[in-house]
Structure 1
Amino acid sequence: MHEYFGEFMGTVVLIVLGTGVGASVNLNKAYAKGSSWLFITIGWGLAVTFGVYVSGFIGSQGHLNPAITLAFAAFGMFPKSKVLGYLIAQFLGAFVGAAIVALQFYPHFKESKNEAQGNTVGIFGTVPAIKNPLFNFISEMIATFFFVYILLDLGNFTTGLKPLIVGLVILVIGQALGSTTGYSLNPCRDLSPRLAYKLLPIPNKGDAHLEYAWVPFIGPIAGAMLAGLIFTLV
């Protein structure tokens, strides 16, 4: 159970820090409101770094991402018997992390009266810069492919300074490929916080845009599977 708890806690850390950046940048009267894309990508990179550190210390393999778990299992790099436990831990951890951020920023949600004032699902989930589901899907697939393919070359990425390397990969993927869709790269990073925004009593909240949720869910899985296939063939 330590392994599953590690995956849960690592995902909580990832989402608290990552969506906390989203809240800080968007919500009224937050000191970081209006900060740059660089601010956001650095924040998410460090969120992943410390999520992996926490996860690995407790005893997990530090996936924090169903796309990674499924791809590694599909190509013999992770025991299939552990997949369900990892997925439950990841999706639950992401929801809990989003709920913590909703509580932390509750007064700022009250001060942000509508989507125009920053009270948007984009705090928790991803929103495309140009809404085109086909190309949004392709963008998520490409970005996740390069993320996971690089990750595979790192071996055990929970040891030493490797979590920092993973965070730097997230940073450069965000800078290079993430500005089209907000780069989910991770089904639970998008779906669970999106559902939290939909279900929790957050003041003045806007539309959760569940009709878009399949893109940041399926796109990363497709990209991770392609990365696993090419890595295995090579």
Structure 2
Amino acid sequence: MSSSDIFLGETIGTAILILLGGGVCAAVTLKASKARNAGWLAITFGWGFAVLTAVYTSAPLSGAHLNPAVTLALAIKDNGIEWSDVPTYFGGQLLGAMIGAALVWIAYYGQFHAHLTDKEIVGGPGAQATKVKAVEAQEKGAGPVLGIFSTGPEIRVAWQNVATEVIGTIVLVLAVLTQGLNAAGDGLGILGGLVTALVVVGIGLSLGGPTGYAINPARDLGPRIVHALLPLPNKGGSDWGYAWVPVIGPLLGAAIAAGIYNVAFV
């Protein structure tokens, strides 16, 4: 496949991934959404369906990596992709993630405005408990809608947060490498897309509680950049102090998973 196909496929696929994944987070979070408070099951299955849709859309062009961790693992894997293609994959994934996050903002524009100007959300008379919670979040650098765009820990313990992301990514990448590759071995095949989507749901249900299971550097970093740039009222911080965790953790997990695969399965 050509560099232009790789870049276009990863951009389109990752944009769809974040549009639908971030979209379900917005649907569950924002006050004026019909799906508000639908819960963790809605989020985990929403992300699973997002993966499924993005994979089947982009696979013909790029092999549907949609994740720098997957790309890194496929480069480390014996007889994997060329290292020279890695920057092209990374670039498309980051751009696509930013486009997807911007589309979530457009789709929920009115809900974002209503949510972030509501005194029950941002503080005001009769909302003291909510206001205290919001202040605590602000002290940690996370604004009230950052969770729609990026992940964050329930308990901030850096080594544990990294370890959680490493463990989740190892599970994801081993599933991709052992079950999901196409005939060329450079991306997800037809069955692999379904397997990977179900694995993502499983990771969310089992391992998503501590950190929100980024397991994908582009999925977290691209939308975090968009959150920082968008003209959202009372949006608060983008929590850049935590931003390194969902980048380093998944990349480290991918490298470990690829090493396991090369030793155990080749």
Same fold (TM over 0.5): yes
| Alpha-carbon separation, structure 2, partners of 1:31 and 1:216 | 30
1:143 aligns with 2:168: yes
| Alpha-carbon separation, structure 2, partners of 1:162 and 1:71 | 16
CA contact (8 A) 2:101 2:226 kept: yes
Among 59, 62, 78, the residue aligned to 1:60 = 62
Matched residue, 2:191? 161
CA contact (8 A) 1:110 1:204 kept: no
**1:210 aligned counterpart, secondary structure:** coil
Shift of 1:120: 1.8
CA contact (8 A) 1:186 1:217 kept: yes
1:138-217 → structure 2 map (5 Å cutoff): 138-154=163-179, 155-156=181-182, 158-217=188-247
CA contact (8 A) 1:26 1:123 kept: yes
Shift of 1:130: 1.2
1:134 aligns with 2:170: no
Shift of 1:209: 0.4
Shift of 1:161: 3.2
**2:100 aligned counterpart, secondary structure:** helix
Cα RMSD of the aligned pairs, angstroms, is: 1.5
The worse-fitting range, judged by mean Cα deviation, of 199-208 and 44-53 is 199-208
Among 71, 94, 106, the residue aligned to 2:73 = 71
Shift of 1:75: 3.0
| Alpha-carbon separation, structure 2, partners of 1:224 and 1:160 | 22
| Alpha-carbon separation, structure 1, partners of 2:18 and 2:164 | 22
Among 12, 35, 40, the residue aligned to 1:37 = 40
CA contact (8 A) 1:106 1:203 kept: no
User: For residues 186-229 of structure 1, what are the alpha-carbon distances to aligned partners after superposition, in whole Å with 9 as ceiling and x for unaligned?
Assistant: 00000110110011112331221011000101000011110000
Any gaps of 5 or more consecutive residues in structure 2?
123-129, 135-142
1:123 aligns with 2:148: yes
Q: 1:106 to 1:127 in 2, by over 3 A?
A: same
| Alpha-carbon separation, structure 1, partners of 2:75 and 2:201 | 26
Matched residue, 2:92? 89
* Letter of the 2:104 counterpart: V
Shift of 1:172: 0.5
Any gaps of 5 or more consecutive residues in structure 1?
none
| Alpha-carbon separation, structure 2, partners of 1:80 and 1:92 | 20
CA contact (8 A) 1:120 1:207 kept: no
Matched residue, 1:230? 260
Name the larger-Rg structure: 2
CA contact (8 A) 1:121 1:208 kept: yes
Q: When the two structures are superposed, what TM-score results if normalisation uses the length of structure 1?
A: 0.95
Q: When the two structures are superposed, what TM-score results if normalisation uses the length of structure 2?
A: 0.84
Instruction: State percent identity of aligned pairs.
Output: 43
Matched residue, 1:23? 26
